[in-house]
Structures are given as C-alpha cells and as structure tokens.
Amino acid sequence: MSKHVDPNLYGATLRACEESGVREDLTYKAAVIIATDDAGAPNLGRTPSDQEIIKQVLPYLQSRGKAESKRTTALHYF
C-alpha cells in the first residue's frame, strides 16, 4: 500500500529546503518523507533511513529559522 502524499507539505518542504541550501538529492527525499508522514504512527511512520535523511536536513532548516528570527528582530528597531 502506498502512502498518501500531501502536496502542500511536499511543496512547502521543497521551498524551505531550497531556500536553506539543502543539497538537491536530500531536498527531494525530505519532501517525500515529510509529505507522507503519518501523525498516528510511531515515528510518524518514518523508517530508520527516513529518520537519518531528516537528521541531515534539520540543521539547515534550524539555521534558517535562526537567521529569520534575527532579521525580524532587527526590523523592529527601524
């Protein structure tokens, strides 16, 4: 049985990864993994391989969030 792909999550993940400088191969893998997450399943239904890919992508996305937070804070001073 194939997993349902959420097109909104897929697109949002692609954009976030691309904007964060994630390698292209990891970007597409992460997008599929996140778009097929199953909130009711243990580990969101992710395999150990899926989890490893997300661990590789996460630092890029976390650093992007920190940079956006700094920009937003700086804008409040102007």
By C-alpha distance, which of 7, 5, 33, 31 is closest to 17?
31
User: Tell me, what's the pLDDT at 67?
Assistant: 60
Number of C-beta neighbours around residue 35 at 10 A: 19
DSSP secondary structure code for residue 76 in this structure: T
User: Tell me, what's the pLDDT at 66?
Assistant: 60
Query: Is the sign of the CA dihedral 14, 76, 63, 50 positive or negative?
Result: negative
User: Tell me, what's the pLDDT at 78?
Assistant: 44
DSSP-assigned states of every residue in 19-66: HHT--HHHHHHHHHHHHT--TTSGGGG--HHHHHHHHHHHHHHHHHHH
Please list the rounded mean pLDDT of every run of 10 residues in the chain (78 residues).
Answer: 86 95 96 96 97 96 68 48
> Considering the entire predicted model, what is its pTM?
0.79
